[in-house]
Amino acid sequence: EAQVTQNPRYLITVTGKKLTVTCSQNMNHEYMSWYRQDPGLGLRQIYYSMNVEVTDKGDVPEGYKVSRKEKRNFPLILESPSPNQTSLYFCASSFTDQPQHFGDGTRLSIL
Amino acid sequence: GESVGLHLPTLSVQEGDNSIINCAYSNSASDYFIWYKQESGKGPQFIIDIRSNMDKRQGQRVTVLLNKTVKHLSLQIAATQPGDSAVYFCAENPKDSSYKLIFGSGTRLLVRP
């Protein structure tokens, strides 16, 4: 089954404790992206990747890092999480110039 | 700046009626538009897309209309069913932005039995 898989689905943690949210897709898509979704603000892009070893900032990259060492994986790293990063996060992937497929989301709570 | 917005935050319709969800976009250079459906606890799910060289595109029970003159996009759902209850987002892809999607804030569709 074609899918985008995120882990964990839920995480409660504390300020400053490094965390990684993994994202994996099995569709051989070149493009992958991370979004955060906050009430009233819709989905905002954090980082995206056009292909392996090619990443770039989206609209709200501050406080996040990403890497793309393999085509199928695109982890999101919060080196020193803060409460304002409490949000619902989505990973997405696609072939170039095609609709993006989304994972089911990761709800992060930073205390 | 670039923005995608929706006229109605909540739309309530009777089961069996047609639904129309509207969206305004501000970037006249956008050439690709997508409608997504998001159910509770799930990620956005692709419904239908349209490119700027088209005015209308139909899918199964859904139709997307694009009016480039007034920068307006709409999603029509025929014979709305309870399973259509969800939040609907429009998204635009500006032409020179490397597959970037700019999302609106969403419209909640409630289907009354």
Whether residue B74 has pLDDT greater than 70: yes
Query: What distance in Å separates the CA atoms of residue A24 and residue A9, rounded to the nearest whole number?
Result: 13
Tens digit of pLDDT at every position of chain A (111 positions): 879 999 999 999 999 999 999 999 999 999 999 999 988 778 999 999 999 999 999 999 999 999 999 999 999 999 999 999 999 999 999 997 788 899 999 999 999
Closest CA to A81 of A32, A34, A20, A24: A20
The DSSP line for B78-89 is SS--GGG-EEEE
C-alpha angle A94/A99/A101, rounded to 5°? 55
Chain B closest CA to A79's CA: distance in Å? 25
- Cα→Cα distances A60→A44, A77, A84, Å: 7, 14, 12
Residues 6+ apart with CB under 8 A from A1: none
Give tens-digit pLDDT for A35-58. 999 887 789 999 999 999 999 999
Using CA atoms in the order A76, A82, A85, A91, what is the torsion angle rounded to 10 degrees? Answer: 10
Q: Which residue in chain A has the smallest CA separation from B32? A: A97
Structure tokens at B106: 């969403």
Q: What's the full length of chain B, in residues?
A: 113
Task: Please name the member of A42, A50, A99 whose beta carbon is closest to the beta carbon of B89.
Answer: A42
- What are the chain B neighbours of A105 within 8 Å (beta carbons)? 41-43
